[in-house]
């Protein structure tokens, strides 16, 4: 399993019945053993929210040489389900900048009044929390709203950062 986002799960099946919930990247093993000479067919029963997982080398026949180890499942984000957290900054003095952080990890430095957007897009509907990490010299900035849910794709978050 590769590409699975932290905190998400994917449900795989073998031959349409033997279900396995996988919650992290790495090796996986189905609970039911299959006899030599029997067919196997690994499929994705349910994708994680915001991702699509695709199996490869997913079918074949069990041989006496040992377990099947070449089945791979790769997950990728559905970018159509993600949106930017963005807004505008006003009140910055020339030559100063403000550093904003979203959810404690994604940061953006804004050096001019106007539009900004965080570099990391988030899954629509997840929560954002904006903090002013570094205030500009001689000014105090506040973000409104500082928290909320990421809107549907195509809509903006309209965060207003005012510096006085």
Using one digit for the tens of pLDDT, what is the confidence trace for 42-98?
999 999 887 899 999 999 999 887 788 999 999 988 777 888 899 999 999 999 999
pLDDT exceeds 90 at position 155: no
Q: Which of 132, 144, 91 is nearest to 113 (CA)?
A: 91
Identify whether 4 is part of a domain. no
Question: Which residue, 77, 97, 128, sits at the end of a domain?
Answer: 77
Give the Cβ contact number of residue 89 at 10 Å.
Answer: 24
Question: Which residue, 43, 77, 111, sits at the end of a domain?
Answer: 77
Q: Give how far the C-alpha of residue 149 lies from the chain's centroid of Cα atoms, to the nearest Å.
A: 15
Report the alpha-carbon distance of residue 92 to residue 63 in Å, rounded: 69
For residue 61, what are the domain limits? 10-77
For the chain, the domain total comes to 2
pLDDT exceeds 80 at position 6: no
Identify whether 159 is part of a domain. yes
pLDDT classification of 135: cutoffs 50, 70, 90: very high
Across the strands, what pairs with 128?
A: 148
pTM to 2 decimals?
Answer: 0.59
88 and 156 share a domain?
A: yes
pLDDT exceeds 80 at position 153: no
pLDDT given for residue 159 in this prediction: 95
104 and 158 share a domain?
A: yes
18 and 54 share a domain?
A: yes
Identify whether 3 is part of a domain. no
Identify whether 73 is part of a domain. yes
């Amino acid at each position: 399993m590769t590409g699975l986002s932290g905190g998400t799960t994917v449900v795989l099946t073998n031959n349409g019945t033997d279900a396995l919930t996988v919650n992290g990247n790495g090796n996986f093993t189905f609970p039911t053993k299959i006899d030599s000479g029997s067919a196997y067919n690994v499929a994705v029963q349910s994708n994680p929210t915001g991702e699509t997982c695709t199996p490869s080398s997913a079918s074949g026949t069990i041989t006496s040489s040992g377990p099947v180890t070449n089945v791979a499942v790769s997950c990728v984000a559905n970018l159509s389900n993600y949106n930017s957290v963005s807004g505008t900054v006003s009140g910055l003095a020339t030559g100063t900048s403000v550093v904003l952080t979203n959810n404690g990890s994604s940061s953006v430095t804004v050096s001019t009044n106007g539009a900004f957007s965080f570099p990391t897009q988030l899954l629509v509907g997840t929560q954002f929390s904006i903090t002013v990490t570094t205030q500009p010299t001689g000014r105090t900035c506040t973000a409104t709203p500082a928290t909320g849910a990421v809107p549907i794709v195509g809509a903006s978050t309209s965060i207003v950062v005012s510096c006085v």
